[in-house]
Amino acid sequence: MKLALLLSLLPAAACLSAPAATVAQSGKIYTFAKSAASMAEASTLMPGGVSSPVRAFKSVGGGPIVFDRVKGARAWDVDGNEYLDYVGTWGPAIIGHADDGVLKRISETAAKGTSFGAPSVLENDLARLIIDAVPGVEMVRFTNSGTEACMGMLRLARAFTGREKIVKFEGCYHGHADSFLVQAGSGVATLGLPDSPGVPDGATRSTLCAQYGNLESVEKLLRENEVAAVIIEPVVGNSGFIRPEKEFLQGLRDLTTKYGALLVFDEVMTGFRVAYGCAQSYFGVTPDITTLGKVVGGGLPVGAYGASREIMEMVAPAGPMYQAGTLSGNPLAMAAGIETLKRLKADPNNYTELERKSKKLVDGILEAGKKHGHAVCGGVAGGMFGFFFCEGPVKSFSDAEKADAAKFGRWHRMMLERGIYLAPSTYEAGFMSLVHTDADIDQTLAVANEVMALL
């Protein structure tokens, strides 16, 4: 996904595995013959052998792991290797992979048919759960992916304000729609040029880029342009993990109000991940429009965008802004989302626990790194975490670019060979689940110590 468009094209970090003989305690070093064979075939059938770029491991080097099955906090590959998984299918597996309750609900629902193309009561149920939980959402529209949700959100922001320009932030990802494929270069607030061939200049001419954490860069753009919306990841997960200051998000709220622009939180990743009320309740700043995805689908394809009743009634057929989807609101996807949200809601301690465990993991990794002389920094928000190989603190994409990506690549492969599955890029976040135990984290930290010593 995201930056992968650019970053996956960078030369792969050198990352041959350490010879088995140098490994102290853990004993077993995984090998990946069947994954390699499957990927060799896949690359003749699909571009890069994958259905989404980041899965190709281009920015860490080494071949991707081909999964066979997942359960709870664990994944198994086609070679039979078992992993503790901190990717969790990029966030959705927050109550654990293949949860029995979710599977039961999906199979009961499937027995009644897999797609209606007509309204179902399940849509009401998931919509109500979302509206009750998310401060900025009074009505919601379901889509099939986060990308689609962001496309709908963009059209809605423009339709509602009658303005065309948008402000996004360097390093933030909002799906693969043309208008968002702009990272901009260095420096403050540049007019964006497309990141990918095939994106017409016209599609990005209205996309302005500001610097994360830098309110002045935003105000300058708002002052000089008629801006429809300022769109942000309220906690960044797509330039690695970056936690904002509350004052920055509050500043965006004040500035957008002052200049008549809408504030959009793209909570596709952070929604129901950093808190049950999403990042907007975690930080106490309410946006005008919210996009959701990942966790709200409980592992099935779902996206959503929501806002006040007044804004949402712009959307067809209530209003004139067109957006549609044959499989949108699909009963299986709704069922998985409902079951997942109900489980998260059942216990307010769930998010406290997620954050405690994320912090235990990140603190342990930083300690292991420092003990063995590596510059590392990192942080957490609820069930989301991340770390970089640099002194830090990392507060923006340009800070993140200073991290040692080659070292991350070697670390990633060595963790993988010892049964720890981390996101395959320094520009990705990590995800904790309710079913990761303290023993799982202790085991992860033992491996992390071993690998930091070898790095």
Ligand X SMILES: CC(=O)N[C@H]1CO[C@H](CO)[C@@H](O)[C@@H]1O
Q: Report the interface residues with ligand X, using CB under 6 A.
A: 343, 346-347, 349-350, 353, 434
Q: Which of 220, 214, 270, 281 is nearest to 241 (CA)?
A: 270
Closer residue to ligand X, CB minimum distance, 220 or 356: 356
Nearest approach in angstroms of CB 136 to ligand X is: 25
Q: Supply the Cα-derived Rg of the chain in whole angstroms.
A: 21
Catalytic residues, by residue number, are 173, 266, 294
Closer residue to ligand X, CB minimum distance, 271 or 329: 271
Nearest approach in angstroms of CB 269 to ligand PLP is: 3
Q: Which does 347 bind (CB under 5 to 8 A by kind): ligand X, ligand PLP, none?
A: ligand X
Nearest approach in angstroms of CB 1 to ligand PLP is: 6
Q: Which does 428 bind (CB under 5 to 8 A by kind): ligand X, ligand PLP, none?
A: none
Q: From its phi and psi, is residue 178 left (phi > 0), alpha (psi between -120 and 50) or beta?
A: alpha
Q: Two tokens at 250?
A: 């509050």
Q: Two tokens at 191?
A: 């007019």
Find the helix or strand (DSSP H, E) in which 379 lies.
strand 377-381
Q: Tell me, what amino acid is at 398? A: S
**CA distance linking residue 165 with residue 161, whole number of Å:** 10
Q: Give me the residues that bind ligand PLP (CB under 6 A), please.
A: 1, 145-147, 150, 173-175, 233, 237-238, 266, 268-269, 293, 303
Q: Which does 238 bind (CB under 5 to 8 A by kind): ligand PLP, ligand X, none?
A: ligand PLP
Nearest approach in angstroms of CB 427 to ligand X is: 29
Q: Determine how β-strand 303-307 pairs with β-strand 289-292.
A: antiparallel
Q: Which does 391 bind (CB under 5 to 8 A by kind): ligand X, ligand PLP, none?
A: none
**CA distance linking residue 379 with residue 370, whole number of Å:** 15
Closer residue to ligand PLP, CB minimum distance, 17 or 89: 89
Closer residue to ligand X, CB minimum distance, 359 or 372: 359
Nearest approach in angstroms of CB 350 to ligand X is: 4
Closer residue to ligand PLP, CB minimum distance, 291 or 449: 291
Extended beta strands in 223-353, E state:
227-232, 262-266, 289-292, 303-307
Question: CA separation (Å) from 27 to 22, 76, 413, 418, 447?
Answer: 10, 19, 16, 9, 11
Closer residue to ligand PLP, CB minimum distance, 267 or 404: 267
Nearest approach in angstroms of CB 20 to ligand PLP is: 36
**CA distance linking residue 63 with residue 59, whole number of Å:** 11
Find the helix or strand (DSSP H, E) in which 342 lies.
helix 331-345
DSSP code for 391: S
Side-chain half-sphere exposure of 182, counting CA atoms within 13 A: 28
Q: Which does 434 bind (CB under 5 to 8 A by kind): ligand X, ligand PLP, none?
A: ligand X
Q: Two tokens at 41?
A: 């075939």
In the bound state, the residue with its beta carbon closest to ligand PLP is: 146
Q: Which does 174 bind (CB under 5 to 8 A by kind): ligand PLP, ligand X, none?
A: ligand PLP
